[in-house]
Amino acid sequence: MVVGVFKSVVNPARKEEFEGLYDEMSGHIGKLKGYLGHKRFFAEDGEGVVVVEFENDEAFLAWDEHIEHKRVKTIGKTEDIFLSYDVKVGTVFEHHSSNKEE
């Protein structure tokens, strides 16, 4: 499994544009083979975090190289949508879980 963690602070003046791009990319990623899911969280200091999971490297690379995702990454990096961002991607080498809701 591959996990990506995208932390960001969105420029308040560009928040509406960011939300539109986020919704657009959520639609694209959900159609990819090997995509397992993603969740979005917000810290008390306003930083947003998206955690995304893929079955394997190939699935992650399909997303990383997706033409629309590349377009939106370029917009994010060049048009001041983010005040800051940090991306980390790694392979899961250990995993434990429990779900008592089922």
List, for residues 40-68, the tens digit of each pLDDT value. 999 999 999 999 999 999 999 999 999 99
Is position 79 within any domain? Answer: yes
What pLDDT score was predicted for residue 75? 92
Is there a contact between 43 and 31 (Cβ–Cβ < 8 Å)?
Answer: no
Of 14, 6, 85, nearest in space to 41 by CA: 6
Is there a contact between 20 and 34 (Cβ–Cβ < 8 Å)?
Answer: no
Q: How many domains does the chain have?
A: 1
Is position 102 within any domain? Answer: no
Is there a contact between 81 and 25 (Cβ–Cβ < 8 Å)?
Answer: no
Is position 98 within any domain? Answer: no
For the entire predicted model, the pTM comes to: 0.88
Q: Which two tokens stand for residue 93?
A: 């080498």
Residue 101 predicted with pLDDT over 90: no
Q: What DSSP character marks residue 31?
A: T
Q: Which two tokens stand for residue 95?
A: 């995993």
Is position 31 within any domain? Answer: yes
CA distance 37 to 14: 26
